[in-house]
């Protein structure tokens, strides 16, 4: 049911907009809707409604007031967006009957789809009940990870150590008994468990009975959207990277980058005078901030941002930047929270320094430090860095070496699964994060 909620939400937007447009054409405006310019603009409005719904978190929010607020916000944002387009075009692209009517009708529809999605999520949590044969530390780590933002909902219902799962007696099958007792549907085996014939034999019997069996690495990949830190070195060379091994993907991605950057430059042109005024009032100093970063194949480039901190002469010693860094000015904090400070990086995208989606580029001194401490850290530089990335939407802000290690696990997942579909997911989640101010 959860999988059906999103298509139903988008399908409802299409039906409502096209239905109201057809009704207006037949009974109010008396024109042929299908052959009019308004048909194309109806498709644009449908796209805005779907994009706004995704950006505010529909249909994945909890039921109740939060879903109502999100549905109202999505309808209002889409209606405002099409109204602004009409203002810029100087023409009535769509009748108010269609714009306002669809915005109102879709609020209860969005809430209904959200209820369907949350109901499906509860059942998914009940379905994915996991028995894991792992160390105690790994079991605690899995529970913590599943309690944050997993890709698939699950719960660890029992965790066994190697000695507690294996058996030398044919009639003793502790792993099977745990699965039956807890009503589990997934069994996870760490590397040591995979090397134990007794445990593998029990897992084989469970597999034949319809229980899913996963290695710990595959469970991290499918349920958590990352590669575990202890697997980075072992599997870092054992997967294809889209930009290296699929030429068509790399070329098409570059074309998409250019298209997005060209459109985004319009927003940058609008933002420059606004930021200039804000800087004069509460952020005096240079408009832009330039800093060397490490890009594709280790090449160094100069990243461009709107400045959010005090000028260099007033800065503290060079160190990891934190979200509440005292060097950030009040107006700079606003630029960061709204992500407006990132807009100048569209120039880097045009130059080819950055892609829209990819691992975030780090400063050269941090790269040197991390390369010496984290195995295969330099592999992330085989792809073009990005404005946003899988690590950003999954983990958020990195302000230390331990954070960098956590984000590297997500970077490796991205490189392993690099595709246009995943890129679109990341862009959508980024928009949702910006709308909900959910980190950087």
pLDDT digits (tens, 9 = 90+) for 89-104: 777 889 999 999 999 9
Architecture of the domain delimited by 128-224: 3-Layer(aba) Sandwich (3.40)
Number of H helices, E strands in the chain: 19, 8
H-state helical runs in 197-246: 197-208, 216-219, 232-235, 242-245
Lay out the sheet containing 186-189: strands in order across: 155-160, 129-133, 186-189, 212-215
Domain residue spans of the chain = 2-122, 128-224, 242-436
> Can you give the pLDDT at residue 321?
63
248-282 residue pLDDT tens: 898 999 999 999 999 899 899 999 999 999 988 88
Please classify residue 112 by burial: count the beta carbons closer than 10 Å to its beta carbon, then call 0-12 exposed, 13-18 middle and 19+ buried: middle
**CA dist., res. 81 & res. 139, Å (int):** 47
Omega prior to 322 cis, within 30 of 0? no
CA atoms within 13 Å, Cβ hemisphere of 189: 23
Q: What is the pLDDT of residue 317?
A: 46
In the block, residue with structure tokens 């915005």: 103
Please report, rounded to a whole number, the percentage of residues in the chain having pLDDT higher than 90.
56
pLDDT at 399 over 70: no
User: What are the tens digits of pLDDT across the range 129-183?
Assistant: 999 999 999 999 999 999 888 888 899 999 999 999 998 887 889 999 999 999 9
- The residues near 24 (Cβ < 8 Å, ≥ 6 apart) are 33, 95, 97, 98
pLDDT at 364 over 90: yes
Q: Which of 50-64, 70-84, 255-269, 282-296 has the lowest mean pLDDT?
A: 50-64
Helix, strand, or coil (residue 129): strand
Provide the whole-model pTM.
0.75
pLDDT of residue 438: 44
Reply yes or no on whether the pLDDT at 191 is more than 70.
yes
What's the confidence (pLDDT) of residue 428?
87
């Amino acid at each position: 049911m959860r999988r059906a909620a999103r298509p139903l939400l988008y399908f409802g937007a299409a039906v409502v907009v096209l239905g109201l447009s057809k009704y207006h054409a037949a009974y109010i405006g008396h024109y042929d809707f299908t052959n009019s310019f308004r048909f194309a603009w109806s498709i644009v409005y449908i796209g805005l409604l779907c994009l706004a719904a995704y950006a505010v978190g529909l249909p994945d929010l909890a039921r109740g007031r939060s879903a109502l607020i999100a549905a109202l916000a999505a309808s209002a944002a889409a209606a405002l967006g099409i109204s602004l387009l009409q203002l810029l075009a100087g023409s009535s692209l769509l009748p108010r009957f269609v714009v306002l009517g669809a915005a109102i009708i879709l609020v209860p529809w969005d809430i209904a789809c959200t209820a369907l999605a949350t109901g499906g999520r509860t059942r998914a949590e009940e379905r994915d009940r996991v028995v894991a044969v792992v160390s105690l530390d790994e079991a605690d780590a899995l529970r913590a990870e599943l309690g944050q933002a997993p890709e698939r909902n699950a719960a660890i219902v029992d965790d066994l150590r190697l000695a507690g799962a294996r058996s030398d007696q044919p009639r003793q099958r502790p792993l099977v008994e745990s699965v039956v007792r807890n009503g589990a549907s997934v069994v996870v085996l760490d590397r040591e468990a995979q090397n134990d014939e007794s445990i593998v034999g029990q897992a084989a019997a469970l597999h034949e009975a319809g229980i899913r069996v996963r290695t710990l690495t595959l469970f991290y990949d499918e349920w958590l959207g990352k590669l575990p830190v202890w697997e980075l070195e072992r599997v870092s060379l054992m997967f294809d990277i889209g930009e290296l091994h699929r030429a068509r993907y790399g070329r098409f991605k570059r074309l998409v980058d250019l298209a997005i950057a060209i459109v985004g430059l319009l927003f940058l042109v609008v933002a420059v005078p606004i930021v200039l005024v804000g800087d004069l009032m509460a952020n005096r100093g240079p408009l832009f901030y330039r800093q060397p970063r490490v890009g594709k194949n280790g090449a160094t480039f100069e990243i461009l941002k709107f400045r959010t901190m005090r000028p260099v002469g007033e800065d503290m010693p060079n160190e990891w930047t934190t979200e509440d860094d005292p060097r950030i000015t009040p107006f700079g904090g606003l630029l960061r929270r709204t992500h407006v400070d990132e807009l100048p990086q569209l120039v880097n995208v045009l130059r080819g320094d950055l892609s829209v989606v990819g691992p975030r580029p780090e400063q050269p001194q941090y790269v040197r430090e991390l390369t010496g401490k984290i195995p295969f850290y330099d592999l992330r530089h085989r792809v073009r860095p990005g404005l946003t990335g899988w690590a950003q939407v999954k983990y958020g802000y990195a302000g230390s070496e331990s954070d960098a290690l956590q984000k590297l696990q997500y970077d490796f997942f991205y490189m392993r699964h690099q595709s246009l579909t995943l890129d679109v997911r990341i862009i959508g989640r980024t928009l949702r994060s910006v709308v909900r101010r959910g980190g950087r």
